[in-house]
Amino acid sequence: MKVFEEYAIASSISKVYGSELLDFVVDEAVQIFGGYGFHEDYPVARSYRDSRVNRIFEGNNAINRMLIIQMLMKRATSGALPLMQAGAKLRDEIMAGPSFEEPPGGDWAEEERILAGVKKVFLLVAGAALEKYRERLADHQEIVAALSDIVMESYAIESSLRRVQKAEAARGAASTSVMADAARVFLHDATDRIEVGARSTLAALLEGDMLRTQLAVLRRFLKRDPADTVTMRQRVSAAVLAGDRYPFEGR
């Protein structure tokens, strides 16, 4: 049971994120096939029909969202995860104001900075939720689900970055450039989703000057230059079309 508990959060994240992404993919596939997407003689219909059950069985996705935050808080209060210490450090950082230190360099420095900001956003919103509801947080499922979505997006961002960095170290930047495009597109899209979700959640938790202050902190944590995701998507699409397959196998 201790081993199961160690991986419970990651398992819930993978189940929810994977099943919901599958729904998106098969829905897009039906759109591409048009009316034939509903026809059993074509390959999309069965996937479209079958994908829906994944969000229900092997752990209902709504319940898994609750479980992610429940397990995080349980492990934080037991000391297994240093979330309390991270929250205290974040409060000190907010009080100190923006840092003017020169950020570290490197090809992925900007992405690592955004990832760090995303993690701070979770601590910011979770701190506000705990301060308002304390032990009654589990009763407010909309807030818990919003926190869970931030956790899942953060996990997926970091997983994609680590995968492409590992591939780049093994194979070189030139041969993994399309994978890098995909990772960067995902990072910016996911960060946009996190920002929207965090803003609406803070508005549900705070008001007045405190809300305005926390929204300013949110903008500071997620401040980033616009990225040309249109061109990056086109390069990824070209790689898929050129190989007529998923382009990242074996990497």
d(CA 162, CA 112): 10
Coil, strand or helix at 247: coil
d(CA 12, CA 106): 33
- The DSSP annotation for 41-67 comes to TSTHHHHHHHHGGGGTSSS-HHHHHHH
Cβ atoms of 51 and 26 closer than 8 Å: yes
One-letter amino acid at 204 equals A
d(CA 137, CA 140): 6
CA neighbours within 13 Å on the CB side: how many for 175? 11
The yes-or-no answer on residue 20 being catalytic is: no
Cβ atoms of 44 and 30 closer than 8 Å: yes
Q: Which of 5, 28, 58, 131 is catalytic?
A: 58
Could you list the active site residues?
Answer: 58
